[in-house]
Structures are given as structure tokens and as C-alpha cells.
Amino acid sequence: MTTALRASAAPSTASGIGPQLKDAGLAALVAAVLLAPILGMETTPGPDGRLTLAFHFDLVAIGVVLVFLGRLALALFLRGRPPVRAREGGAVSAFVSRNAAWFGLAGLAFAIALPLLPFSSRYVIDVATTVVIYVMLGWGLNIVVGLAGLLDLGYVAFYAVGAYSYALFAQWFGFGFWMCLPIAGLLAATAGVLLGFPVLRLRGDYLAIVTLGFGEIIRLVLVNWYEVTGGPNGIADIPRPSFFGFPFTRNPAEGETAFHQLFGLEFSTLHRVIFLYYLALALALVTNLFVLRIRKLPIGRAWEALREDEIACKALGINPTNTKLTAFALGAMFGGFAGSFFATRQGFISPESFTFIESAIILAIVVLGGMGSQIGVVLAATVIVLLPELSRELETYRMLFFGAAMVLIMIWRPRGLLAHREPTLRLGTATGATSLSARGGGP
């Protein structure tokens, strides 16, 4: 094997860059044919309503040159290097993962301090809240995809179940946020079990497409079931959260005390924004603690074992369906929590917020960050939410970037950018049990 590699590497270092040039030329040719119609000829409605074409061959030329140079650079860069298929992440990833606790604490300190920092405007806090929600969704989906290795393309369905159950329970029964939150989580988990039970014995790619279908079914039901969901118009006037019963209003109703009165503050609409931020942060922290903890329990290890080899798991007596079901249900539950927070924050929900693209974004966060990595999810969520905020221009190109990134990451770092995994147990750490070895550990 190594000799074969050396043999293939040797001539390319000796000879010029002829083969690479030819290769890049071919790639450029392919790019030209691919780009010419779609990028080069834009269909636009003409004056009579018929389509006409607007030509952008300058863009095609730029694209072709970029492909040529990119391909050439890649070929020269890879020349002489053996093809490495890194199973683990690199040194940086290992460093981050070993010191996860410190990075986590530093990040948490920053997150807590954020609203008090001088540059924190209402806008900054708003964006930060969005980041935190996506972090939470990423952590929830990470249970399913990263730990249990089940590709769920319909995660947004559980987010929707959470949001709608909050909205409906609040509207019909007048339940408050803290009452609705567990209900939403429970309902989402139930939806996860109902979906999961029949489909979790399917092969991985069938599962992916069934979850995709389920996500769409939920959305289509939301759109079409006017009587309950309000159809495409959605549900408005969802009650806003209160500070444990003290509303964030300037003039509270008779007999009520508003938040600013309680603390003797000047009324400010910022209070509610900050409160929502901390609420999201608290929910996300609960999610994180839960996931960190459960990873080190038998069920968490069984999830990872299932991801590695389902047949071996069966031969060790692990019930694959039940184990997957718990992952699915717990992932769904956190999606439901996030959904009900989303509903109370927006005050308005409609099916538009729960499209496949949303599932794809959450999946991208998990994949890019590193499947199974908690810190990776935070970084990926931050990048993915901030990217369109930096410039509105970028928003259109955001999905283009995600799609390309998902492909490239799978090629270069199949386990994600921060893929280094620390074992959940070490033999060194189990010294507390030495007394037991005297009795003999054998069966």
C-alpha cells in the first residue's frame, strides 16, 4: 500500500505541472458547459410576458477561470501528499476537545455577560437570542444525528409541534409559558415516538427520506387545517412571557404588578428582550447539561455504539429499536422546547417558519460543527446565524454556502470540523473501584 502511494507520488514531483494543467483545463471545460445555460442565460419575463434571456457570459467566464485556478491549486497542493483519511480531527480539534470545559466556561461567562456589555444594543441581543436558539436546536439534533447516527431530515417538525402546541394551549386554555413548556416538550416527544416506532427499523437512507416526508406532512397539515392552525395565516397574539407572573408591560392590568414596578426600574422594552435572551440561554444550558450527562450513561454509550455498528449491538443484547426511539424522542423533546420558546418570542407563528430549509440549516449546524461535538455546534450556529446578518446580500447566498460546505466537509472532515471525541470513561479515572478488584472482577 505504502509503496503504491510512493510510486504514484514520485513521478508527479519529478515531472512538470503538465498533467495538473490538463486536468484543470478539463475541469474548466466542464464548468463552462455546466455554467453556460444556467448562470449564463437568465430567463426573465419580457415586455409581452413571454420569457426572454439576459446573458451573463462575463459571470460564466469568471466562474470558469475560478474553477481552473481552484482545480490547479488543489492538484498542486495535494501533489506528493498521501491521501489522508483522518478519522479523528486534527490537533486543533483535539486541543479544543480536551479543554472543552474551559472553552465552555469562557463561552458561558461571555454569554451571561453579553447583555451588560457596552456594545449590546437591542439588535445585538436579538441576534444573540437567535444564535442561542439554533445552538439549542443543534444540541437537540446532535443527540439524534451525532450520537445515535440517525439522519433526521424532518427535525423542524418537532420544532413546529412545540411552537403550535404552545400557541394553541396558550390560546385555548390560557396556560402560561412555564405550564406550556413541558406540555410542548412532551407532545413533541410523543410525535417523535409515534413517527419513530414504525420507521426506526428502516435502513439509514430510508429513515432520512421518511423523516423528510414526515416534516413535510406536518407542514402541509399546518397549512391546510384552517380550523385549528389558522392555515397559512398562522396564529397571532400568542401571549408573551412574563417574569414568573409579572408582565413586561408599561401599564399592567388591574391588580397586576409589572416587571419594572417590581424592581423599581424605569420601564423599558429592552427588559423583555434581555429576559428572553436569558430564558433561551437557560433552556440551552439545560439541554447541554442533559446531553453531557446522558452521554456518559449506558443509554448514551449505546447510542454511539449503534452509530458504529448496529449488528454488533444486537449481538450484545442491545435492543436497537428502543434505543433509537429514546434518542429520537429526546431529540424531539428539545426541539419542542425550542419551538415553544420560538412561539413566545415571536408572538406569531405560521407554517412558513417550519420549512425543509429550516431542517437543513439545523442539520448543517450539526454537520459543520462536528457530529457529537457540543462546542462545534456553538461555533457553527454562531457562524450560520451571523453570516446573513453581516450583510443582507449574503443571505441569498447563505444556502449556497451551506450546501457547498456540507459536501466539502464530508470529503475532508467526514466527522465534522471539531470531531475529536474524548472517551466517556477512562481506566485511569476508575481507581475508586480498586477495592472491588480484590473480590475478583471476573464472572
Residues numbered 14 to 53 that lie near another protein (CB under 8 A) are 30, 33-34, 37-39, 41-45, 49-53
Q: Which is nearer to another protein, 260 or 415 (CB)?
A: 415
Q: How far apart are CA 277 and CA 287, in angstroms?
A: 15
Nearest approach in angstroms of CB 283 to another protein is 17
List of residues 6+ apart from 355 with CB closer than 8 A: 156, 219
Number of residues near another protein (by CB under 8 A): 101
Q: Which is nearer to another protein, 256 or 352 (CB)?
A: 352
Nearest approach in angstroms of CB 406 to another protein is 3
Given a contact cutoff of 8 angstroms between Cβ atoms, the answer to whether 107 and 382 are in contact is no
Residues numbered 382 to 401 that lie near another protein (CB under 8 A) are 396-397, 399-400
Does residue 87 touch another protein according to CB under 8 A? yes
Does residue 76 touch another protein according to CB under 8 A? no
Does residue 212 touch another protein according to CB under 8 A? yes
Does residue 286 touch another protein according to CB under 8 A? no
Q: How far apart are CA 165 and CA 170, in angstroms?
A: 8
Q: How far apart are CA 366 and CA 205, in angstroms?
A: 18
Q: How far apart are CA 106 and CA 101, in angstroms?
A: 9
Q: Which is nearer to another protein, 176 or 320 (CB)?
A: 320
Nearest approach in angstroms of CB 362 to another protein is 12
Nearest approach in angstroms of CB 129 to another protein is 25
Which range in 92-100, 128-136, 184-192, 417-425 contacts another protein by CB under 8 A? 417-425
Does residue 443 touch another protein according to CB under 8 A? yes
Does residue 428 touch another protein according to CB under 8 A? yes
Nearest approach in angstroms of CB 121 to another protein is 31
Nearest approach in angstroms of CB 412 to another protein is 9
Which range in 70-78, 101-109, 129-137, 402-410 contacts another protein by CB under 8 A? 402-410
Neighbours of 69 (CB within 10 A): 12
Q: Which is nearer to another protein, 30 or 66 (CB)?
A: 30
Q: Which is nearer to another protein, 251 or 431 (CB)?
A: 431
Nearest approach in angstroms of CB 306 to another protein is 9
